[in-house]
């Protein structure tokens, strides 16, 4: 029966990987895989287990209890993501990200490259690499007209965004998963990964800055204006980003799950947003038909833009992996890996290269269920770095790459020819730095 469960998972996984070829959104096979796996377990009355991390053993459990356990763990991640996504959309409602254009004053192609790199690196650590990529490429489209130059900037933005998300518990879905699962702590994650992640970004940028494509200056299009600026945009940008940064601090102080802090942050940002939004109305001239529209509320408008397909995809993947964990498959597979590949660095590097080919969410979800290593073990820091930055090696290897591919119509083979080797060099430079720091800091 284990072979059947693994086969279902592999088929679902393959359908997710080739979503662009078969034109079927990856959330469909993810949800289908989840439902079929749990149905097979239930109909065949398969024994389910819960991992005892203290004894490193499997303990029998009831199906209803184990299902509720995995749903609860998954819900923690999904609610956290919903809160973060809503805050980002509220910032965008007030055109808060448009103010970033003011930071870009140089017309030097190389200088612009580094500005994009550092902004992308820093922004992705706060609002996640996917959103940072969308913001930066939107700005890029308004500043650069040359198609080839835009492709190069976009490719390097992907590397910077993925690198920036790897060292932050709120910068990438995989690091968020590890953080919520109590595999890493905020301070140690930053301590061990901020420098390797920075090296992962800086090395490809140093190399590419010598390329001919980045020589000289670019011409700013005449249609670039500040008409999109909102009087409250900058305030909402700082309030929103500050509220997201408050979440790790809240967890450290209260020891409550991160989603509680994110909901508190969302409540605060939403209150401020409603206050600023209501200030535009003249009380003596109220148009009730107009005022009752949902779009007048920044919270309602932001909630309509949430990427529910991504949320449902994560639900399907995490619950499917939970099914394999519950019947002991992942636990047994981890034992086999530890016996066959005793060197954890090989496992970590292999995971990084695999994440360029297949989605890193199920890879990390499986790792969480496979390895019983304690919190802040070097294995978890390595997995966070490897899964976060390894996806840059192919444009389909990360959410940032996929969204950039859609926004700029980047060809898969163009990216492989021009960006893949840079991303690979950055990955290995960063991982070498990680090994060096681990040796001297532990």
Structural domain contains residue 56:
no
Of 49-53, 242-246, 269-273, 354-358, the least confident: 49-53
Residue 368's pLDDT is 82
Structural domain contains residue 386:
yes
What is the sign, positive or negative, of the torsion defined by CA atoms of 398, 172, 428, 376? negative
Q: 201: domain range?
A: 62-441
| Residue-wise pLDDT tens digits, 153-176 | 999 999 999 999 999 998 888 898
Residue 334's pLDDT is 67
Task: Residue 427: name the closest of 360, 376, 368 by CA.
Answer: 360
Structural domain contains residue 156:
yes
Residue 97's pLDDT is 75
Residue 220's pLDDT is 63
Residue 296's pLDDT is 64
- Cα 159 from Cα 121, distance rounded (Å): 9
Residue 382's pLDDT is 92
Structural domain contains residue 1:
no
Residue 438 in contact with residue 378, Cβ under 8 Å?
yes
Residue 289 has pLDDT above 50, yes or no: no
Angle at 407 between CA 406 and CA 412, to 5 degrees: 45
Structural domain contains residue 27:
no
What is the percentage of the chain residues whose pLDDT exceeds 70?
88
Residue 375 in contact with residue 182, Cβ under 8 Å?
yes
Residue 33's pLDDT is 93
Helix H or strand E segment including 253: helix 233-254
Structural domain contains residue 43:
no
Q: How many structural domains is the chain composed of?
A: 1
Residue 39 has pLDDT above 90, yes or no: yes
| Residue-wise pLDDT tens digits, 358-372 | 667 767 877 887 787
Q: What is the mean pLDDT of residues 38-67?
A: 80
Structural domain contains residue 402:
yes
Rounded-to-5 percentages of helix, strand, coil across the chain: 75, 5, 20
Q: What is the mean pLDDT of residues 261-268?
A: 93
Residue 120 in contact with residue 133, Cβ under 8 Å?
yes
Within a 10 A sphere around the Cβ of 225, how many other Cβ atoms? 10
Residue 282's pLDDT is 37
Within a 10 A sphere around the Cβ of 346, how many other Cβ atoms? 12
- Cα 121 from Cα 165, distance rounded (Å): 7
Name the pairing type of β-strands 57-61 and 48-52. antiparallel
Q: What is the DSSP string of 40-77?
A: HHHHTT--EEEEETTTTEEEEE-HHHHHHHHHHHHHHH
Tokens coding 354: 């695999």
Residue 352 has pLDDT above 80, yes or no: yes
pLDDT band at 285 (very low <50, low <70, confident <90, very high): very low
Structural domain contains residue 403:
yes
């Amino acid at each position: 029966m284990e072979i059947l469960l693994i086969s279902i998972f592999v088929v679902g996984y393959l359908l997710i990987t080739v979503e662009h070829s078969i034109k079927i959104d990856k959330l469909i096979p993810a949800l289908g895989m989840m439902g079929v796996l749990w149905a097979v377990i239930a109909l065949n009355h398969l024994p389910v287990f819960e991992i005892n991390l203290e004894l490193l053993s499997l303990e029998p459990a009831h199906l209803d209890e184990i299902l509720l356990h995995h749903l609860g763990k998954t819900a923690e991640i999904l609610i956290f993501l919903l809160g973060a996504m809503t805050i980002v959309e509220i910032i965008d409602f007030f055109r808060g990200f448009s103010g970033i254009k003011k930071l870009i004053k140089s017309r030097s192609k190389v200088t612009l490259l580094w500005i994009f790199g550092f902004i992308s690196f820093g922004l992705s650590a706060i609002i996640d690499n996917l959103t940072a990529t969308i913001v930066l490429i939107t700005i890029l489209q308004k500043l650069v007209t040359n198609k080839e130059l835009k492709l190069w900037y976009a490719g390097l933005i992907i590397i910077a965004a993925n690198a920036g998300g790897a060292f932050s518990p709120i910068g990438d879905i995989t690091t968020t998963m590890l953080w919520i699962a109590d595999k890493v702590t905020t301070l140690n994650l930053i301590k061990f990964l901020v420098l390797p992640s920075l090296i992962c970004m800086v090395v490809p940028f140093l190399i590419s800055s010598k390329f001919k494509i980045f020589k000289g200056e670019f011409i700013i299009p005449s249609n670039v204006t500040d008409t999109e600026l909102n009087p409250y945009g900058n305030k909402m940008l700082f309030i929103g980003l500050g509220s997201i940064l408050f979440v790790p601090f809240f967890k450290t102080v209260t020891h409550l799950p991160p989603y509680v802090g994110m909901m508190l942050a969302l409540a605060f940002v939403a209150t401020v947003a409603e206050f600023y939004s209501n200030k535009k109305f003249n009380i003596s001239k109220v148009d009730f038909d107009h005022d009752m529209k949902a779009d007048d509320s920044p919270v309602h408008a932001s909630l309509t833009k949430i990427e529910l397909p991504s949320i449902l995809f994560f639900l399907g993947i995490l619950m499917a992996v939970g099914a394999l964990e519950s019947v002991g498959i992942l636990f047994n597979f981890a034992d086999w890996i530890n016996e066959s590949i005793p060197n954890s660095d090989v496992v970590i590097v292999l995971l990084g290269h695999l994440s360029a080919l297949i989605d890193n969410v199920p890879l990390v979800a499986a790792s969480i269920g496979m390895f019983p290593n304690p919190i802040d073990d070097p294995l978890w820091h390595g997995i966070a770095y490897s899964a976060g930055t390894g996806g840059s090696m192919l444009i389909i290897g990360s959410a940032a790459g996929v969204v950039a591919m859609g926004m700029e119509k980047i060809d898969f083979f163009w990216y492989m020819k021009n960006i893949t080797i840079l991303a690979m060099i950055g990955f290995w430079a960063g991982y070498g730095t990680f090994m060096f720091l681990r040796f001297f800091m532990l």
